Amino acid sequence: MLRQLIIEERRFPLAAPFRISRGVKHNADVVTVAMRQGDKCGRGEAVPYARYGESAASVIEQMEQLRPQLVAGMGRDELQARLPAGAARNALDAALWDLESQLSGVPVWLRLARPQRAALVTALTIGIDTPERMGAAAARIAGTGLIKIKVDADDPAARIDAVRRAAPHDRLIVDPNESWSIELLREMQQPLARAGVDLLEQPLPADADDALLDFSGSIPICADEACHETRDLPRMRGRYQAINIKLDKTGGLTEAWHLLRAARREGFKVMVGCMVCSSLGIAPALELAREAAFVDLDGPFWLQHDHPDGVQLDGGSLLPPLSGFWGG
């Protein structure tokens, strides 16, 4: 039976601007896929990311090139071979997992031999602003468990200190998004330790992280932009102590599952993260999150309006979507 493939570009306005070191987002621009077979429909969503040379147009073009094979029944294994890691493969991979679960009647979590979905503590992110405003934002979410602080090279210590004063008991992740130099990283060791930061995410540009080979710090460093796929892991040794797995980087749950298991075998801590996206974008990542030391899946909570049957937030607890939303 031939499938029907529907590819759409969609925009979700944000409830507030989201600023990181590379700029400000006002919308989450995503590409969605619906793959119908008979009366079943698998869905997926991905975020084209300019940092990796992607746009909605380029992602849709990649998908369209495989339309004949996809409607004829292409599976996930062939998809891995035909498309590189990235947003296009992620959305298609998610739709195939969802479709397979519906056709088989076996939910994704059971196919992966994982426990049924349950509430998880997720990081809540504070975007770059003045120290005073970042402190006020931290006060509103203090006590939720895990806070992620976006910073750049402009006085990051003041911003981190402001958040710590407002949220004295929460675990902290600091994310400079590649904006620091090795000199600034060394200077920041005392402020990071003073604030009790648990994890430092991608401080140096991914193409300049050789400097980490000669660096010894007290705060574990997590690879984000530097690590996309399982084949990247050997290069992470000696530079990073953790990796951030995002489905838009790995090209979907299929490769992300391989990366998760390989990273744990190699002794890396694992974070499971996301871009700013809807509940549909993070639904497959929930299958990995229970294996992670850090969960950073608050992307949907930046939106003005998310899917009504998607994930919900209760304090710092991420509640799974309603049954049938994605993956069985």
H-helix or E-strand spanning residue 175 = strand 171-175
Q: Residue type at 82?
A: R
Dist. CA 284–CA 32, nearest whole Å: 14
Contacts of 221 (CB under 8 A, 6+ apart): 199, 200, 201, 202, 203, 212, 239, 240, 241, 242
Strand partners, 243: 223, 270
Please say if 246 is a catalytic residue.
yes
Q: One of 148, 150, 249, 269 is an active-site residue; which one?
A: 150
Dist. CA 123–CA 148, nearest whole Å: 6
Q: Residue type at 131?
A: P
Q: One of 148, 246, 249, 269 is an active-site residue; which one?
A: 246
Place of tokens 């590189």: 84
Please say if 25 is a catalytic residue.
no
Place of tokens 């998607």: 310
Specify the DSSP class assigned to residue 187. Answer: H
Residues designated as active site: 150, 246
